[in-house]
Amino acid sequence: MAPSALVQLARKHRLNAIALTDHDTTGGIAEAQEAAQGSPFIIPAVELSAHLDGQDIDILGYYIRPGDVSFQAALAQIAADRLTRGQRMVECLNALGVPLAWERVLALSAGGVVNRAHIARALVESGHVSSVPEAVERYLLPGGAAYVPRHTMTPAAAIASIHAAGGAAVLAHPGVYGAYAALVEEFVADGLDGVEVLHPANGETVRANLRGLARGHNLVITGGSDFHTPRDRLGAFNPPPECLRDLRERAGRYRKI
């Protein structure tokens, strides 16, 4: 959805605040803030793509300074890596006998950061699959026939980059990682500020474990619907009421550096 359309949907669901956490870009924040005019409040944020020991790890950054020059340079490098990755995925598909035009993938990205969703949509349009989830699961997930790993920053570098941009760093959707507890322990040493406890991929046991880890390491408990498509439920996984206050406080620490 366009950022302005997302704002309208957030109003429909009576949300007081939303974080726009697009993958590896802050390009939609200004449009969302302009459309919202303060209601709902738009938290300037991002979801950075990182990679560790063969595993994709996502780190959320809240209350960042979108105009930070060094941060934008880092995002530009990630965008370039994503472009190369997307091209390689399309090449893999073509080699598998699944013809796909790279130009169409670029058109679907509409000038933004190319990601697997754009490739999946192109696969649906071309009639190779019936839905985006089918495209992702069949070809684009780790182990899939056309999967290409991300060659981006480490989680530690992502956390440091978010801090340098004045933001608080949070581990996204821990429930998708098999050894999430060990990851939290490792990233705490790198300066992690919070964990995404309320998330559709986190079952009740995972949430209970994450709450314990958060209390033990003084981490902010966050949450979100991970809204990517109309199938996702915007506003269905809201964090505790003190979350925004705590994230602002954490971000404030790095703005003083």
Parallel/antiparallel/unpaired status of strands 194-198 and 220-223: parallel
Inside any domain, residue 145? no
Whether 1 has a pLDDT exceeding 90, the answer reads: no
Q: Are residues 66 and 52 in the same domain?
A: yes
Length of the chain (residues): 257
| Domain containing residue 98: CATH number | 1.10.150
What confidence category does residue 229 fall into, taking pLDDT thresholds of 50, 70 and 90? confident
Domain boundaries, position 99: 81-140
Largest Cα–Cα distance in the chain? 55
Number of domains making up the chain: 2
| 146 domain residue, yes or no | no
pLDDT for 218 beyond 90:
yes
Q: Is residue 69 part of a domain?
A: yes
Q: Left (φ > 0), alpha (ψ -120 to 50) or beta: where does 207 sit?
A: alpha
pLDDT over threshold 60, residue 82: yes
pTM: 0.85
Summarised one tens digit per residue, pLDDT across range 156-214 is 999 999 999 999 999 999 999 989 999 999 999 999 999 999 999 999 999 999 999 99
What's the pLDDT score for residue 78? 86
Note whether 165 and 247 are same-domain residues. Answer: yes
Query: What per-residue confidence (pLDDT) applies to 233?
Result: 87
Give me the pLDDT at residue 105, please. 96
Q: Are residues 166 and 237 in the same domain?
A: yes
Task: Name the amino acid, one letter, at 6.
Answer: L
pLDDT band for position 255 (50/70/90)? confident
168 and 233 co-located in one domain: yes
Q: What is the rounded average pLDDT of the residues 143-152?
A: 84
Element (H, E) at 199: none
**The pLDDT of residue 137 is above 60:** yes
Is the pLDDT assigned to residue 53 strictly greater than 90? no
Residues 118 and 171 in one domain: no
Whether omega for the bond prior to residue 174 falls within 30 degrees of 0, making it cis, is no
Instruction: Identify which has the larger pLDDT, 101 or 231.
Output: 101
Considering 90, 106, 140, which residue would you say is the last residue of a domain? 140
The pLDDT of 67-90, averaged and rounded, is 92
pLDDT of 81: 87
Q: Assess whether 132 and 199 both reside in one domain.
A: no
Q: Is the peptide bond before 44 cis (omega within 30 degrees of 0)?
A: no
Tokens for 8?
A: 């309208």
- Tell me: pLDDT of 257 over 80: no
Both 101 and 14 in one domain: the answer is: no
Please report whether residue 174 resides in a domain. Answer: yes
| 128 and 176 co-located in one domain | no
Give the integer Cα–Cα distance in Å for 138 and 239.
Answer: 33
Cα separation, 169 vs 235, whole angstroms: 21
Answer whether residue 227 shows pLDDT above 80. Answer: yes
Tokens of 171: 């581990």
Question: Are residue 58 and residue 162 in the same domain, yes or no?
Answer: yes
Percent helix, strand, coil in the chain (nearest 5)?
45, 15, 35
Identify whether residues 112 and 176 lie together within a single domain: no
User: Are 70 and 172 within one domain?
Assistant: yes
Q: How confident is the model at residue 111 (pLDDT cuts 50, 70, 90)?
A: confident
Q: Tell me whether residue 110 is in a domain.
A: yes
Q: In whole numbers, what is the pLDDT of the chain averaged over residues?
A: 93
Q: Considering the domain boundaries, does residue 147 fall inside one?
A: no
